[in-house]
Amino acid sequence: MSAPPGHATGAGRLWRKNLVIWAALLALLLLSLGIAYVPMGRITVAAGIVIAVMKSALVLLLFMELAKSGSLIRLAAIAGLVFLIAMFGLALTDVLTRT
Amino acid sequence: MTDALLAGDLPLPPRPDYLRHGSTIASWLTTTDHKRIAILYAITITFFFFLGGAAVTAVRLELFEPNGWLLTSDTYNKLFSFHGIIMVWFFLVPSIPNTLGNFLLPLMIGAPDVAFPRLNLFSWYLTIAAGAFTVYALLAGGVDTGWTFYTPYSSMFSNSHVFAAAAGVFVVGFASIATGVNFIATTHMLRAPGMTWFRLPLFVWAIYATSLIMVLATPVLAISLLLVIAERVLGLPIFDPARGGDPILFQHLFWFYSHPAVYIMVLPAMGVVSEVIPCFARRRIFGYDFMVYAMLAIAGIGFFVWGHHMFVSGQSALASLVFSFLSFIIAVPSAIKVFNWTASLFRGQISFESPMLYSLGFVGLFTTGGLSGLFLASIPVDVHVTDTYFVVAHFHYIMVGGSVSAFFAGLHFWWPKVTGKLYPESWAKFAAILMYAGFNMTFLPQFFAGYLGMPRRYHTYPAEFQIYNVMSSAGAGVLAVAYLLPLGYLTWSLFYGGRAGNNPWAATGLEWTTTSPPPPKNFDRQPRVDRGPYEYHAEGMSAGTDAPEVQNARDIR
Amino acid sequence: MSDESALLREPWFDFGRQREAGKFGIWVFLGSEMLFFGALLLTYTVCRIEHPDAFAAAGRATNIWYGTINTAVLLTSSLTMAMASQAAASPARLRRLVLACLLATALLGLAFVVIKGFEYKEDIDKHLVPGAGFALPQPGAQLFYGLYWLVTGVHAVHLSIGIVLVGRLFWEFYRRELPTQANPELEITALYWHLVDIVWIFLYPLIYLPGRSS
């Protein structure tokens, strides 16, 4: 095991990196709060969801380190997503076209 | 290395096998050995199989007479519901994966155990807890919703024990998810050196594909039942049309699980048959790669067809069209598998031992069930036969003719490995043939009765259908005998059966290279794999007649 | 490598492989969890498509302050959780940082539950429980609140499990029963925690933001 380069530097580097992500998450939270009060109809609804997607992408890729993970773990994450989309897609095929 | 060493026949230092490695009850109830957990599951599902069987025996007795003679309509409803719930979630779903799969998966890939042994045991305890809920539901007075728990009947009107039954299924779902996660991680992470993906036995592929479905579909079942429970207990209006709810939504959620669950039940059966047929035809499996792709395709496409259960539910015409189309698509990989099994027999040295009889029965009955499924995928025919005995016959051909036959095929095939004992072969052959005959006698008449319009789930029917029901009930009696026979002679073999060698069928595959029964850590030597799973003969030749070579092994101690 | 031998479990021979398998296993489980919450969100989506106006009115009736503050609390807990996990994985020996971050994570999780409790109390006082005496006139609003109670309840159960897991890890590390460095249980717990956070990230716009602009 390589010698630790000193407490402060190792910890400091981690704090700097993760605090930036955290700040971005909180900024997005405030952004979605603000947009919710702007009357744009469906776009307001969509904006809330898009921002949620962005926030969860940050958590998934950086906090959960999916960006650094091997293909196997990415595959596991994507599999869940694919079948989630299939479930929404096919169920809404019915709900949106009912007469 | 000498041939004797390669064949694993070298006298090894005596050590207890997994059955004799600790004999107290506690050593079984706290075991993390996948083989012992498989035995625990086997005992559990045998209990539930005969429980579910007892319920349907009463149902078939009742149907001897057009106007009923034995049960009240209420009791009748509760018995067929109990039969469905028990057979689907406490027998068929765990049957092959949790017994044979649990036992064989690590052996077949050359691993000492599954990836998460404690999770494996936890999964069994969850199954027991769930079973307790469900049996309580029966003892407390039963549940009358059918195994499908359709809303708004289940959420608003039924006065039976929906809560306990739904809670049981909810919990057993998590046992299923835990098993699925475990098997997927095991297949990915614990394969022996040289065991590449395309050297995996098809049974392992089948268990892997099944696990994918368990992991990704079961949570949706959990939610659908949670919503029913919430509506019943907390009075939430989710499925109540009068308060703005949507009862059809329940069917979407329920079938998002329950259609893929059909493949949870039948894919492992396909895996068993893919092991048995090459062994008793002494042939390589025909089209190994396509067998793999077909199984993965079935697992994947199986998620996209659930709406064919809902053609008459009021779902939109467009959705019905899409689901109908996708349902036809899934017949393609299923057909590939059937053709490949039959092609594997071509130029084989076929012998008709009991596992082979069960497997050939599977191929025929699965094909019949699958083809009748095409009728049901077609919207106009489905509208005609929805909720008739045609549907009942169709899915019993897949589930009972298919999966249960294959379960017995696997049980007989691996019995010598699991127990170290040989069973009486002539009895087994007799039981296999009896099961095939009894099955067809029970369910073939139901196709006719259903096509003529006899609805399912009624305890009375017009007198014109009596001939079909009497045939069916008589067949069920034959079938019951055929199921009780193995219970008798297999139990007998535990005490009086002859010693089984390591490889009584001269099969390929890693599980046959270790002793029967295997040692606690499966292999005394770490297996090394340098070829495919079904090398019964040299490439390009016809069937092999000699015992195949077994895999290399190297010492790990 | 005494750390690794203390963490090695059956049936593994190689610690690196065991760690990878644990990570892969939890990801597969998280895939399952995605479908679990996805099915609830599908229920929400279908109901909202069928009752857009009632959902807007019901969304307006939620308390946006509780919701927003709780989202910030949970996002911060994800920060401390990620710090704990990354500090344990780092070659530098950062045991104290790991301990501090784990404690902070558990406390932030508890804070979320407490704030949620105050919010539930206010909801009950405002008669936002479906059934007789419900505060809003539209029938669809009862659907919204039915799902609100269910989804936030299921989320709270998940979060509580997370708090127990994180608290247990903290205690074991504090008592030095297990090495912190490269501990697979910590990685697995962290991944689970983040997923519970992601669920809330989606619940926030679906529960608190509908109908704010009208």
Ordered by start, the domain boundaries in chain C are: 20-207
For residue B547, with 0-12 CB atoms within 10 Å meaning exposed, 13-18 middle and 19 or more buried, which class applies? middle
Q: Chains contacting C with at least 3 CB pairs below 8 Å?
A: A, B
Task: Give the pLDDT of residue B542.
Answer: 81
pLDDT higher than 90, residue B547: no
What is the pLDDT, as a whole number, of residue B444?
97
For the CA atoms of A18, A23, A28, A33, the dihedral, rounded to the nearest 10 degrees, stands at 130
List the single range of B197-206, B262-271, C182-191 with lowest mean pLDDT: C182-191
Q: Using the predicted structure, report yes or no on whether residue A3 has a pLDDT greater than 60.
A: no
Q: Does residue B550 have a pLDDT over 80?
A: no
Q: Which of A33, A94, A99 to mutate to test the interface with C (most CBs of C within 10 A)?
A: A33
Determine the Cα–Cα distance for residues B162 and B165; give it in Å rounded to an integer: 5
Asked if A51 and A83 sit in the same domain, the reply is no
Q: What is the DSSP letter of B66?
A: T
Mean pLDDT for the stretch of residues B496-511:
92
User: Do A12 and A1 share a structural domain?
Assistant: yes
Does some domain include residue B519? yes
How close does chain C come to B233, measured CA to CA in Å? 12
One domain for residues A43 and A73: no
What is the mean predicted confidence (pLDDT) over C17-45?
96
Contact of B82 with B139, CB cutoff 8 Å = no
C1 has a pLDDT exceeding 60: no
Average pLDDT, chain B: 93
Task: Provide, as residue numbers in chain B, all residues whose Cβ is less than 8 Å from the Cβ of C131.
Answer: 235
Domain containing residue A35: 1-66
Contacts of B among chains (3+ CB pairs under 8 A):
A, C
pLDDT at B12 over 70: no
Instruction: Lowest mean pLDDT of B18-27, B192-201, C150-159, name the range.
Output: B18-27
Q: What's the average model confidence in pLDDT over B120-128?
A: 97
Residues of B in contact with C47 (CB under 8 A): 238, 244-246, 249
Q: Is residue B11 part of a domain?
A: no
Measuring CA to CA, which residue among B118, A89, B146, B241 is closest to residue C139?
A: B241
Question: Nearest CA to CA, how far is B220 from chain A (Å)?
Answer: 10
**Does residue A89 sit in the same domain as residue A59?**
no
Q: Residue type for A33, please?
A: L
Give the HSE-up count for residue B540: Cα atoms under 13 Å, Cβ half-sphere. Answer: 0
Q: What is the reported pLDDT for B1?
A: 42
Predicted local confidence at residue B402, as pLDDT: 95
Give CA angle at C199 (B211, C213), nearest 5°. Answer: 140
Main-chain phi, psi angles of B478, to 5 degrees: -60, -45
For range C190-197, the mean pLDDT: 97
Give strand pairing partners of C168.
Answer: none
Q: Is residue B162 within 8 Å of B154, Cβ to Cβ?
A: yes
Mean pLDDT (whole number) for B371-395: 96
Residue B2 has pLDDT above 60, yes or no: no
Quick one: A57 and A96 in the same domain? no
**What domain range includes position B54?**
27-541
Give the residue from chain C lying closest to B215, CA to CA. C32
By the CB < 8 Å criterion, does A94 face chain B?
Answer: yes
Position C181 scores a pLDDT of 83
> B155-177: per-residue pLDDT in tens?
989 989 999 999 999 999 999 99
Q: Does the pLDDT at position B438 exceed 50?
A: yes
Q: Is A99 on the interface with B (CB under 8 A)?
A: yes
Instruction: Using DSSP bridges, classify how beta strands B552-555 and B525-528 pair: parallel, antiparallel or unpaired.
Output: antiparallel
In the predicted structure, residue B549 carries a pLDDT above the cut 90: no
Rounded distance between C-alpha atoms, residue B427 and residue B407, angstroms: 17
Q: Residue B76 pLDDT more than 90?
A: yes
In a domain, B550, yes or no: no
In a shared domain, residues A9 and A30: yes
Contact at CB, A87 and C35, closer than 8 angstroms: yes
Contact: C79, A18; criterion CB under 8 Å: yes
Give the confidence band of A1 by pLDDT, cuts at 50, 70, 90.
very low
Q: How many CB atoms lie within 10 A of CB C187?
A: 21
Residues 6+ apart with CB under 8 A from A35: A44, A47, A48, A51
- DSSP secondary structure, B459-484, as one string: S---GGGHHHHHHHHHHHHHHHHHHH
Query: Could you tell me if A50 and A89 lie in one domain?
Result: no
CATH code for position B407: 1.20.210.10
In this structure, what token pair is assigned to residue B109? 């890939």
Confidence check: pLDDT of B9 > 70: no
Domain count, chain B: 1
Mark which residues 74-93 of A lie under 8 Å from C by CB: 76-77, 79-81, 83-84, 87-88, 91-92
Protein fold of C20-207: Four Helix Bundle (Hemerythrin (Met), subunit A) (1.20.120)
Residue B35 maps to a domain: yes
Quick: pLDDT tens for C107-138. 999 999 999 999 999 999 999 999 888 999 98
In angstroms, the separation between the Cα of residue C96 and the nearest Cα of chain B is 30
Check if the interface score ipTM surpasses 0.90: yes
C-beta atoms of B252 and A98 within 8 A? no
B173 occurs within a structural domain: yes
Give percent of chain B with pLDDT exceeding 90.
Answer: 86
Confidence of residue C91 (pLDDT cuts 50, 70, 90): confident
| Dist CA B412 CA B407 (whole Å) | 9
Domain annotation covers residue B317: yes
CA-nearest of B323, B332, B410, B322 to B370 is: B332
pLDDT at B4 over 90: no
pLDDT for the residue numbered B179: 97
- B235-244, B527-536, B546-555: which has the minimum mean pLDDT? B546-555
Residue B531, CB-side half-sphere exposure with 13 Å CA sphere = 14
In b/e form, how buried is each residue of C133-161, taking b as 16+ CB within 10 angstroms? ebebebbbbbbbbbbbbbbbebbbebbee
Instruction: Answer whether B493's CB lies under 8 Å from B424's CB.
Output: yes
CB-closest option in A80, A87, A93 to B256 = A87
Measure in Å the smallest separation between the Cα of C5 and chain A Cα atoms: 15
* Chain B touched by A63 (CB under 8 Å): no
Closest CA to B80 of B478, B474, B473, B458: B458
* Each residue's pLDDT tens digit, B90-107: 999 999 999 999 999 999
| Average pLDDT of chain A, as a whole number | 90
- If asked whether residues A13 and A61 sit together in one domain, one would say yes
Q: Quick one: residue C167, left, alpha or beta (phi over 0 = left, psi -120 to 50 = alpha)?
A: alpha
Query: Which of B113, B181, B244 lies at the smallest CB-CB distance from C139?
Result: B244
What band does B260 get if pLDDT is binned at 50, 70 and 90? very high
How many distinct structural domains can be found in chain A? 2
**Res. B6: pLDDT tops 70:** no
Q: Looking at residues B499-510, what average pLDDT do you find?
A: 91
**C196-B184-B19 Cα angle (round to 5):** 120
**Spatial contact of C100 and C170, defined as CB atoms under 8 Å apart:** no
B557 band by pLDDT with thresholds 50, 70 and 90: very low
Handedness of CA A12, A15, A21, A26 (dihedral sign): negative
